[in-house]
A and B are shown apart, each in its own frame.
Chain A
Amino acid sequence: MGVRGFGATPAAAFEQAALALTAVIVAPERVRPTTSVAVRCAAPDLELLLVDWLNALIYEMATRHLLFGRFDVQLDGTLLNATAWGEAVDALRHEPAVEVKGATLTALSVTQRANDHTWVAQCVVDV
């Protein structure tokens, strides 16, 4: 499935892409922000940074049995510091549809639209 985030800045687009990732599994509004996890990534470019960011979230969800519904991303070049808020998976309340295996390089791009300067961050995730 493709995930795509739009924002006024790359960081905002990364936050929205993360919400799109959540939406693959569960409606984000169903996830209560009761616990937080810090994420740090570094990559050679913004595109690989997006992949690393999403894969870091996938890893945290898998190992901590969490779902995330809110994100705060700070970018310093291609260095990312972020906080993800969420809660433990509740199969009855969340009814998660599918687990995400990983973010891929397919349809990967982080670009700024010429017409309105909106940043768009996207890739395909494997489910």
Chain B
Amino acid sequence: MDPGRFVRAGECEWHLPQVGAMRVPGVIFADEALIRAMDEKVGEQVANVAMLPGIVKASFAMPDAHWGYGFPIGGVAAFDPDAGGVVSAGGVGFDISCGVRMLLTGVAGQRIESVKKRLADTLYARIPAGVGSTGAIALSAREMDAMLRGGARWAVERGHGQAADLERVEERGAIAGADPDAVSDAAKRRQRDEMGTLGSGNHYLEVQRVVAVYDRAIAEAFGLREGEVVISIHCGSRGLGHQIGTEFLREMAVAAKASGLSLPDRELACAPIRSPLGERYLGAMRAGVNCALANRQILTHLVRDAFHEVLPGIRLDVLYDVSHNTCKVEQHRVDDSIRELYVHRKGATRAFAPGHPDLPLVLQATGQPVLIGGSMGTASYVLTGTQRSERLAFASACHGAGRGMSRHQAMRQFNGRALVDELASRGILIRSPSMRGVAEEAPDAYKDVSSVVDAAEHAGLARKVARVEPLICIKG
């Protein structure tokens, strides 16, 4: 995009003035290089979101923003139900509550190096990944509904993990207000074989080493030490979430047309928060959130089993579990009052500051860990929330690097087998059932996550704590 379209408000902050049908201005957090690299649709979609009823303060885009479905990926927008605010299925996305969970091992990288191949093969054998893969857990109709209400808590109660895990998960492992009856039979059917599966595409499970620490005190509080190994699990609500997104996007689009709601883009299909359709979607979306939390909890259990097979006695603790495709009800200060807002984060991560009441006691002093995944073969980052982020963008930060080239282009340009060999020569073991999938996920197909994270820090959205690099990557 041409930066000249925007008013520069800071080193990493650009404003799109409120004009025409926009109800609020647009705000994009990025340095100049990132703004120039963003596709034109980002600015258009930021402006479109700003036109939605009940939007509060601004339509935001994070440093990794790119063209999405109605909302830009990397988009943040909050709505006030008392002002006719809407909830949008497009503002949450198809992969409801896709997110990242990081596990701490306390193990030095050298110890992993000695068993790396065996660990990679064991994880690959135990973690269902890729198209057509199925999980070992079959849920009855009653258990399905229990899972949709109970999320990660349900999973722990069923023996997939420990109670201490739940403190380190957004919503303490289960979001309130999930309504299994709002979830269609088709969505439940689609999930039936997928509990405890990783998925495919940009989903992954990585064993990583902490290679840099930027804030020693917070890193120590998080349990991150240079040279030690952590594990990241990136996946979401699987088929259930995808089906909920599919169904409600269509229903909202048809309903919007029928009700005469004028939308600049039909992909922005939405419904008033205080409407039967809006409430039904929120109930189903929250069920999707719980499904994602349960899924990452089950995968945690499978990872622990795999580690115990190769490295008996190693304890894997959860650092934190973040979600980046959600709509959450949160209290935020707007001007001089506290308001209850419905905050959409579409490819954006919540970043609560130190002292936030929703954080567990042990994270009150540090702020919420913000887990930012890079591409296979590059780096990922751990950041923490700041007070400034609360004032800037309803406590939100970026979520990843974003693609720099299309899957089609990457498939033509890169050879999966060659990539696997090249990464292996650099000490990174890739395990995937699809070499075409590996090619599409080539590191060079993604933008530079470091520049995205640096821009997020410079903008004040979050503060860098540590950088991790992959040792093993399981891809679907």
A-to-B contact residues, CB < 8 Å = 1, 24-25, 44, 48, 51-52, 55, 58-59, 62-63, 65, 88-89, 91-92, 94-99, 101-106, 108, 124, 126-127
Contacts and interface: CB of A to CB of B under 8 A. Distances in A.
A97 B436 contact: yes
10 contacts: A58-B242, A63-B192, A65-B132, A91-B433, A97-B407, A97-B440, A99-B199, A99-B476, A101-B245, A105-B249
Contact of A63 (B190, B199, B266): B190
A102 B437 contact: no
A126 B434 contact: no
Contact of A59 (B70, B132, B243): B243
B253 A105 contact: yes
Contacts of A88: 132
A127 B407 contact: yes
Contact of A99 (B186, B201, B250, B254): B201
Contacts of A95: 433-437
Interface in B392-436: 406-408, 411, 433-436
A105 B245 contact: no
Nearest to A127: B201
A108 B69 CA distance: 11
A104 B249 contact: yes
A96 B201 CA distance: 10
A127 B253 CA distance: 21
A96 B239 contact: no
Contact of B95 (A91, A96, A101): A101
B131 A98 contact: yes
A91 B130 contact: yes
Interchain residue pairs A-B with the least CB separation, the first 7: A89-B132, A96-B131, A102-B246, A101-B242, A97-B436, A101-B94, A98-B201
Interface string B433-454: 1111100100000000000000
Interface of B: 69-70, 93-95, 130-134, 186, 189-190, 192-193, 199-201, 239, 242-243, 245-246, 249-250, 253-254, 266-267, 269, 406-408, 411, 433-437, 440, 476
A102 B200 contact: no
Given A65-B132, A97-B440, A106-B69, A59 B250 contact: no
Contacts of B406: 1
A96 B269 contact: no
B246 A55 contact: yes
Contacts of B94: 101-102, 104, 126
A88 B132 CA distance: 9
A21 B266 CA distance: 22
B400 to A, nearest CB: 15
B437 A98 contact: yes
Contacts of B267: 104-106
Contacts of A51: 250
Contacts of B95: 101, 126
Nearest to A124: B69
Nearest to B245: A102
Contacts of B199: 99
A101 B235 CA distance: 13
A96 B132 contact: yes
B192 to A, nearest CB: 8
Nearest to B267: A105
A96 B130 contact: yes
Contacts of A99: 131, 199-201, 476
A65 B134 contact: yes
A51 B133 CA distance: 25
B244 to A, nearest CB: 10
Contacts of A104: 69, 94, 249, 267
Contact of B189 (A25, A44, A63, A106): A63
Contacts of A48: 250, 253-254
Given A91-B130, A98-B131, A98-B201, A62 B239 contact: yes
A126 B243 CA distance: 12
Contacts of B254: 44, 48
Contacts of A126: 69, 93-95, 242
Contact of A98 (B186, B190, B250, B407): B407
A97 B266 CA distance: 29
B442 to A, nearest CB: 12
A24 B437 CA distance: 10
Contact of B408 (A1, A25, A124): A1
A105 B248 CA distance: 12
A68 B193 CA distance: 20
